[in-house]
Amino acid sequence: MELYLYDTTLRDGTQRVGLSLSLEDKLKIARLLDEFGVAYIEGGWPGSNPKDAEFFRRVRLRRARAVAFGSTRRAGARPEEDSNLRALLAAETPAVALVGKSSSFHVAHVLETTLDENLEMIADSVRLMKARGKEVIYDAEHFFDGYLEDPNYALQTIRSAAEAGADWITLCDTNGGSLPSWIHSVVRAVIPVAPRLGIHAHNDGELAVANSLAAVEAGARLVQGTINGYGERCGNANLVSLAPTLQLKMGLRCVPAEHLGRLTELSRAVSEIANLSPDFHAPYVGASAFAHKGGLHAAAVEKVTASYEHVPPETVGNRRHIVVSELSGRSNVRARSGQLGISLAGRDALVLARVKELESQGYQFEGAEGSFELLVRRSDPAYVPPFEVLHVRVRSDLRQGDAIAAEATVKLRVQGESAHTAAEGNGPVQALDRALRKALLPSFPRLAGVRLADYKVRILDSDAATGATTRVLVEAACGAERWSTVGCSANIIEASCQALADSLELFLSRSQSEIEGTKEARRSCPSNRLS
Amino acid sequence: MELYLYDTTLRDGTQRVGLSLSLEDKLKIARLLDEFGVAYIEGGWPGSNPKDAEFFRRVRLRRARAVAFGSTRRAGARPEEDSNLRALLAAETPAVALVGKSSSFHVAHVLETTLDENLEMIADSVRLMKARGKEVIYDAEHFFDGYLEDPNYALQTIRSAAEAGADWITLCDTNGGSLPSWIHSVVRAVIPVAPRLGIHAHNDGELAVANSLAAVEAGARLVQGTINGYGERCGNANLVSLAPTLQLKMGLRCVPAEHLGRLTELSRAVSEIANLSPDFHAPYVGASAFAHKGGLHAAAVEKVTASYEHVPPETVGNRRHIVVSELSGRSNVRARSGQLGISLAGRDALVLARVKELESQGYQFEGAEGSFELLVRRSDPAYVPPFEVLHVRVRSDLRQGDAIAAEATVKLRVQGESAHTAAEGNGPVQALDRALRKALLPSFPRLAGVRLADYKVRILDSDAATGATTRVLVEAACGAERWSTVGCSANIIEASCQALADSLELFLSRSQSEIEGTKEARRSCPSNRLS
């Protein structure tokens, strides 16, 4: 059976505190949603701001229908002259969403008009849109609260919209406080009046996904929500969790089957564009959604792949992840080293002890697997580091009105020689990064291909304020290869320096192994290893 | 009707990737849970690690029952000689949780024993604990998957535990993938065999809260979960969302009624101890859970308080929040200024334009209301800043093996005079903070009472790596008063300097207004204002 996904990330999603999207951002997200296969994309409220009106002028969709959102006409206004309805028509979308009041309390106290006038406002607005050839989705605001308070009036509002020709009626749990059993029974009661029913749920009780499923089980066939559950207060129903549950567990077709494998990518791309950190613990798509940390589970997963996973991670484009941490047993350390292709040769207890010691100082290897790899490599008595940092000095100079400036001086030992140099940057960390590379490049020209892809700072004991321990995560890339490293110190410059230097060292020692490996293979001279 | 909350933050919660708790942390959290009023506190797995065994030696609870967790005896072992059961007994808790297998697949492929031996393992282990006077909670692992696969065997395992005397049987959705309707029907089927039933849900489908409620609606009376939903993969059922829903919406007594008002405090205290950022969008307790951002809603909330809130925020110890942001209308700016007690005198459009301009540069006022207040104060043509920053220079010197060192030099204009000084610190930001205060203290002795309470760094366009824009948030405190300010720059030193300087400027201008206010009141000489 078909189920229609209706995305409102670009409208209701942007109501989230901390989220704002530029016009270009909105166009990028619309493209991703269209490719993923949602049925409707609500792009904004053209009557409320010029950015949204511009969005509708520029958006081009291949498969999804663009929806412009607005409210029913004002009390006492003629629909053709209502500025909001005019803005809706001016958006020239194939579909429009009209939001109207379902609660007699809200009609009296927020709209401040009569119950009959509200019914007319709904009917008039729907009729105008239908007369202009639009597909009309009528959003019944506060429906579940309104139905509790006055079921007859709430149903009358639905009848007004349906009789005026609305294509879909969406019941909204605007305050997000309803329970699934209430949602289920109300949807059952409304279906006879409006068979093409939708659900719009908010997450104020941590129940938006469950409330959407309850409505679907009761017969709703259109589900409104947002990517990653972004939305006002506690968010909207999360389409990223709903799509695989509906499709894989309830057998309802939402998106083309082969597109579900792009779900993780979609979720992360939208959080990147929205400039919000992805939630590592997000269902289905989080980096930790298929992580196995406890020694017991990791051992069990090795035995029986599916025994601790509710769906195969690859069906949603995610992957299984064995985590190394304080709670780990040696089996995790071995499994992780095995995934890295490095033999521990009995040093697993040593490595585990070192992990636990560093974690107690504030390091964290869960997000910095490059540092874990380096730790494993360094545990080999034959390991020779490609360089050592001897001295680093960083200066920032801020003068009122002037351009900002930072300078870093570094002194390294590289292959027995001293390399001493300096560089400038926007800020101290950039200056430091440039100086390190400048010192290393003459000896290691292959570093030219390495770029920094991400730089993150976390204050650990942040109530120690500016004296707190700082953890820096650096992600570097070379072609398609990516690795991340961690540094930790009360001095952000030192923490950054550690993470940057480790990042470069790991790259150099990995590529050194390859160079040596190639030489070995060619010359069959295993004794020639750098040790 | 009574419902028993069973907290497993200290055991299952710590399986979360990124979470680790010291012994002191665990004791602090246990104390908070005890005061809040949960019925059971599962403290750890004494058989798996010495920290947990030590926890049970030290924990003292006033109201809640401490529970030690472990698995049923090993296949073929005598219960009295099983090391895990011995560790459980050694914990000397009034209650123990025993986890056993419900799924015939897991018995064969993970335990690698016979179905009958598994039933004996369950019965033997429960009997031993009952003989030693323990309250026994039997956790039926993988129950909902096991029941789907082989309902007869799954029920037999429950019967084994019940007949051996288990006080509670908890059905676990170990993989977190079940749907609420399935949970509901399975609980209904098991109740006749085990009337005192519990539920343990995971969040892999974003349904842990809903699945717990579905079990309660079907008759379960013990709910396992964790604070803030911490737990392996996507987390456990979130007791912070469950407690108010069960108590306020379903009329089930979980905690003493007057304790629910401490819910927000409990949630935030646990995230502080766990050193995890609190989720601003968390249901009930998030800083944004009762935030009103869109112009429309904020206006409606002013009209009818309850119209966009599912429960009154104060019932869970939270508060309503009018947000100033790019999406705001002037009414939000006015409302927020009104809450601050500052008259805008018609400058609302000016302030709103400035907010939008700064937000487009990366500033964010939603978490930095002190900076918003300063912006409002600065918009007054009569405003005179208490000081100006002219020049700042910061140096970090890292030498292999040496203690780290940072030095800051600052030059300020204070009341027409130049103040030029220097200070050292652990890191560059601490040195800067110390230098700023040192320069200001002679002119403003009241600054001695101000301390920095929090310092946070966020990299905005983090894929620009070390060249990225950095946003710094500073929270300062003086007695019970707290305020937060923001700085933004590609140079972390500059961003920190802005946030620190604004933090001090706001304090000085607030207290200046008070001083002037007092003088005015005393002298009735309003023309004497600093302008």
Instruction: For residue B144, give the CATH number of its domain.
Output: 3.20.20.70
Look at residues A266, A470, A487 and name the one whose alpha carbon lies nearest to residue A374. A487
Contact between B465 and A452 using a beta-carbon 8 Å cutoff? yes
- Nearest-CB residue to B233 (from A214, A275, A288): A288
Q: Are residues A28 and A140 located together in one domain of the fold?
A: yes
- Cβ-count burial B392-405 (b if 16+ within 10 Å, e if not): bbbbbbbeeeeebb
pLDDT digits (tens, 9 = 90+) for A276-294: 778 889 999 998 999 876 5
Best of A493, A494, A498 to disrupt the B interface by mutation (most B CBs within 10 Å)? Answer: A493
For the residues A318-329, what does the mean pLDDT come to?
70
In a domain, residue B267? The reply is no
B458: pLDDT strictly greater than 80: no
Give the model's pLDDT for residue B521: 38
| DSSP string for B375-421 | HHHHTSTT---SEEEEEEEEEEEEETTSPPEEEEEEEEEETTEEEEE
B445 or A271, which is more confident: B445
Q: Which residue has the higher pLDDT, B486 or B452?
A: B486
A203·B283 Cβ contact <8 A: yes
Say if the Cβ atoms of A428 and B493 lie within 8 Å.
yes
Q: B24 versus B447: which is more confidently predicted?
A: B447
Q: Is the pLDDT assigned to residue B530 strictly greater than 50?
A: no
How does pLDDT run across B294-343, given as a tens digit for each residue? 555 556 666 676 778 999 999 999 988 776 655 566 777 777 777 777 88
Distance in Å, alpha carbon of A395 to nearest chain B alpha carbon: 4
pLDDT tens track for B66-100: 999 999 999 999 999 999 999 999 999 999 999 99
CB contact under 8 A, B397 and A398: no
CA distance A19 to A226: 13
Q: Are residues A85 and A192 in the same domain?
A: yes
Same domain? For B112 and B223 the reply is yes
Question: Does residue B225 form part of some domain?
Answer: yes
What 3-state DSSP class applies to A261? helix
Q: Tell me: pLDDT of A295 over 50.
A: yes
Residues B389, A406: C-beta atoms closer than 8 Å = no
> Mean pLDDT of all residues in chain A?
88
Q: Is A209 on the interface with B (CB under 8 A)?
A: yes
B288 contact partners, CB below 8 Å, separation of at least 6: A16, A17, A18, A233, A234, B280, B281, B321, B323
For A430, the token pair is 């950039």
**Residue at which a domain ends, from B255, B282, B306:** B255
Q: Are residues B301 and B406 in the same domain?
A: no
pLDDT for A389 beyond 90: yes
What integer pLDDT is reported at residue A528 of this predicted model?
Answer: 30
CB distance B288–A14 less than 8 Å?
A: no
The tokens for A419 are 């390399």
Closest approach of B503 to chain A, Cα-based (Å): 13
| Contact yes or no for B426 and A490 at CB 8 A | yes
Selected residues 52-91 of chain A with any CB under 8 Å from a CB in chain B: none
Tokens of B65: 């029952």
Range B518-525 average pLDDT: 39
pLDDT of residue B403: 62
Q: CA nearest B273: which of B33, B483, B60? A: B33
Express as a percent the part of chain B with pLDDT over 90.
Answer: 60
Which residue in chain B is spatially nearest to A392 when comparing CA positions?
B398
Query: Which of A192-196, A295-299, B199-203, B479-483 shows the lowest per-residue confidence on average (mean pLDDT)?
Result: A295-299
Q: Which residues of A touch B48 (CB under 8 A)?
A: 295-296
pLDDT at position A463 over 60: no
Query: Does residue A357 register a pLDDT over 60?
Result: yes
Which residues have CB under 8 Å from B156's CB, separation 6+?
Answer: B119
- Let me know if residue A273 belongs to a domain: no
A51 touches chain B (CB under 8 A): no
CB proximity A272 to B under 8 Å: yes
pTM comes to: 0.74
Q: Which of residues 424-463 of A touch B (CB under 8 A)?
A: 425-430, 432-433, 451-463
pLDDT, residue B293, reads 67
Q: Specify whether B26 is located in the same domain as B171.
A: yes
Q: Based on the domain organization, do A145 and A234 belong to the same domain?
A: yes
- Would you say residue A386 lies in a domain? no
Q: What is the pLDDT of residue B397?
A: 87
Among candidate residues B255, B278, B309, the one where a domain is terminated: B255
B36 lies in some domain: yes
Whether B205 sits inside 8 A of A209 (CB atoms) is yes
| pLDDT tens profile B351-360 | 888 887 787 7
What percentage of chain A carries pLDDT values higher than 90? 60
- CB-side neighbour CA atoms (13 Å) of B217: 20
**With contacts defined as CB-CB under 8 Å, which chain B residues touch A295?**
48
Cβ pair B400:A406 closer than 8 A = no
Q: Is residue A235 assigned to a domain?
A: yes
Q: Are residue B298 and residue B166 in the same domain, yes or no?
A: no
Contact assignment for B293 to A15 by CB distance below 8 Å: yes
| Residue A80 forms part of a structural domain | yes
B414 and B340 belong to one structural domain? no
Q: Nearest CA of chain B to the CA of A159: how many Å?
A: 23
Total domains present in chain B: 3
SS3 B38: coil
Q: What pLDDT score was predicted for residue A517?
A: 56
Which of these three, B210, B229, B255, is where a domain ends?
Answer: B255
Tokens 């709703």 locate to: A220
Cβ burial of A60 (10 Å; 0-12, 13-18, 19+) is exposed
pLDDT at residue B355, rounded to an integer:
81
Q: In this predicted model, which residue has the larger pLDDT, B325 or A256?
A: A256
- Among A372-386, B77-91, B273-287, which is the least confidently predicted range? B273-287
Residue that wins the pLDDT comparison between A158 and A450: A158
A429 versus A273: the higher-pLDDT residue is: A429
- Residue B165, in any domain of the structure: yes
pLDDT in tens, B95-128: 999 999 999 999 998 888 999 999 999 999 999 9
pLDDT value for B354: 84
Q: By mean pLDDT, which of A489-503, B312-326, B358-372, B517-531 is the weakest?
A: B517-531
B519 vs B135, which has greater pLDDT? B135
Q: For residue A286, list chain B residues with Cβ-Cβ distance below 8 A.
A: 233-234
- Name the more confident of A20 and B294: A20
Residues 339-398, chain A: which have Cβ within 8 Å of B?
Answer: 359, 364, 366-367, 388-398
Cβ-based contacts of B284 with chain A (< 8 Å): 204
Say whether both A298 and A350 belong to one domain: yes
User: In this predicted structure, which of A254-258, A308-312, A515-519, B408-412 has the lowest mean pLDDT?
Assistant: A515-519
Same domain, A185 and A245: yes
pLDDT exceeds cutoff 80 at B57 = yes
Question: DSSP secondary-structure letter at A290?
Answer: T
| Contact list, A455 vs chain B (CB under 8 Å) | 459, 462, 465-466, 468
Window 137-176 of A, Cβ < 8 Å to B: 142, 174-176
pLDDT band at B525 (very low <50, low <70, confident <90, very high): very low
Query: Using a CB-CB distance cutoff of 8 angstroms, which residues of chain A are in contact with residue B304?
Result: 105-106, 109-110
Give percent of chain A with pLDDT exceeding 70.
90
pLDDT tens digits along B158-195: 999 999 999 999 999 999 999 999 999 999 999 999 99
pLDDT at B519: 47
Q: How far is CA B181 from CA A58, A211, A454, B147, B212, in A?
A: 43, 12, 43, 14, 11
- Domain hosting B308: range is 291-378
**Cross-strand partners of B69:** B97
> CA of B499: which chain A residue's CA is closest?
A466
- Cβ distance of A406 and B180 shorter than 8 Å: no
Distance CA(A158)–CA(A139), nearest Å, equals: 9
Nearest-Cα distance to chain A for B431, in Å, is: 9
Rounded to 5 degrees, what angle do the CA atoms A40, A228, A137 make? 25
Does A120 touch chain B if contact means CB atoms closer than 8 Å? no
Whether residues B172 and B215 fall in one domain: yes
Do residues A9 and A89 both lie within one domain? yes
Which residue of A lies nearest to B456 if distances are taken between CA atoms? Answer: A459
Q: Which two tokens stand for residue B96?
A: 């123990």
Question: Chain B residue with minimal CA distance to A500?
Answer: B466
